[in-house]
Amino acid sequence: MSNNVLPHSLGNLPRTCIDLFAGAGGLSTGLELAGFNVLFANEIVPVYATSLAQNHPQTNVYVDDIRSLAPNNIRNVRESLGLEVGQLDLVAGGPPCQGFSINAPSRSTSDDRNHLFLNYLDFVNEFRPKVVLIENVPGMVSFSNGGTIRAILDSLECLGYKASVRILYAPHYGVPQMRWRTIFLATRLPFDPDSLYPAPTHNIKGRPNFTAKFAGRSLIYSHEHIISCASNAATTVWDAISDLPVIPNGGGDPTMAYGSEPNTLYQKFLRLDSNALTNHQCAGLGSANTKRLPYIPPGGSWRDIPHELLPEGMKRARRSDHTKRYGRLDPNGIASTILTKCDPHWGAYIHPNQDRVLSVREAARLQSFPDRVTFAGSLSEQYEQVGNAVPPLFARAIGYQIQDTLRLYERGEQIIATDVQSQVALPLSD
């Protein structure tokens, strides 16, 4: 396997950023891997913030509702970081996305969570960063008939930023998991914001199950474009987790020895600076479920379970229903989207060859978290933190592209924008 996960050459000094709605720090971790110094991060959930702080000791972590930082207090934050207006390189973050999600039970413009991006924009207005990054779920494209997308783009324009929006697929950047994210990138500098999007590096075809067009434009890369620029094979489940020790159903330990050397470049990269394996613990399944698991082969699902052992509700299901329930991961494929619970009733979260669900560390590996990143709280809280995170290698790819584009701009060199359909050379200024 050849994966583009080796350290990237950087300039002289690390660029600076802040991370809002940071969760346990997936975005912060990825941006740090790309050479950013995360000066400040905000997270409202205390246990998430604990993980964030313990993994990013140099970051000023503010634990509270972002709405408590009124414009005057945001100015205090900027001044406490020793930054002048316009000095910060990047404001990044992901306003809560539940209200935008195509999977949410009810999507309404009255949901307060759908307006938190305005609080995010207060930081943009105060810091005046060179680049703005907003990430969210693909479902926001269809929310309010595209009104949310338009509101964000228009708001950034009113602040003096040229902005673009695309939907990127994490496996295109070496993440072994089906995960799509809507990414807004904007700049107040005189170059096309499309130049801030990274070209795919891993060749794998994604199948979107959401609206992928906005204002008549496709927001996802064409398969032809992926083939033209992605030279690496997809990272597989087994590439990610094959070196981790065997543990029983409901077993594992908070800290344990690896027991073997890394088998792949991906594993070697994620094990950098980690001397012990942490969070390799899994939730326990009851006897009814443990009787079902031996019947499910790698890549199989509930259809492989004898009818008499199925849950009562699923005995009436059609074979075309619930395609991922009680799914056992195919070691040679990529994982389903890691959610906040590795529950077999939710999807394909059964280990490829052990009769148990994924451990927290295995879920974190499939999310591309380095092993040095640890998760605080109860087992269920650890699963939540991993499932809610931005995959760090995905964030790293975006961070590198931002770094490279800013470096080209500062050197006065030509900037190339990776178009959804093709690569187009653009002038440095309008």
Residues 175-190: b if buried by 16+ CB within 10 A, e if exposed: bbbbbbbbbbbbbbbe
CA–CA distances in Å: residue 180 to residues 171, 189, 290, 321, 336: 9, 28, 32, 22, 11
- Give the other-Cβ count within 10 Å of 314's Cβ: 17
SS3 content of the chain, % helix, strand, coil (to 5): 35, 15, 50
**Tokens of residue 306, six digits:** 């004898």
Q: Nearest 5°: phi and psi at 339?
A: -100, -170
**Are 105 and 119 within 8 A, CB to CB?**
no
Based on the residue annotation, tell me whether 17 is a catalytic residue of this protein.
Answer: no
Q: Nearest 5°: phi and psi at 239?
A: -55, -35
Q: Nearest 5°: phi and psi at 202?
A: -125, 130
Beta strands 252-256 and 232-233, pairing class: unpaired
DSSP per-residue letters across 162-221: EEEEEEEEGGGGT-SB--EEEEEEEESSSS-GGGGSPPP-EE------S--EETTEE-S-
Whole-number Å distance between alpha carbons of 412 and 74 = 33
Helix axes 392-411, 26-33, angle to 10 degrees: 40
Alpha-carbon torsion (77, 80, 83, 84), positive or negative: positive
Indicate the SS3 state at residue 282: coil
Of 17, 97, 282, 342, catalytic: 97
Of 123, 167, 114, nearest in space to 19 by CA: 123
Whole-number Å distance between alpha carbons of 18 and 123 = 9
Whole-number Å distance between alpha carbons of 134 and 157 = 14
Beta strands 36-43 and 15-20, pairing class: parallel
Residues annotated as part of the active site: 97
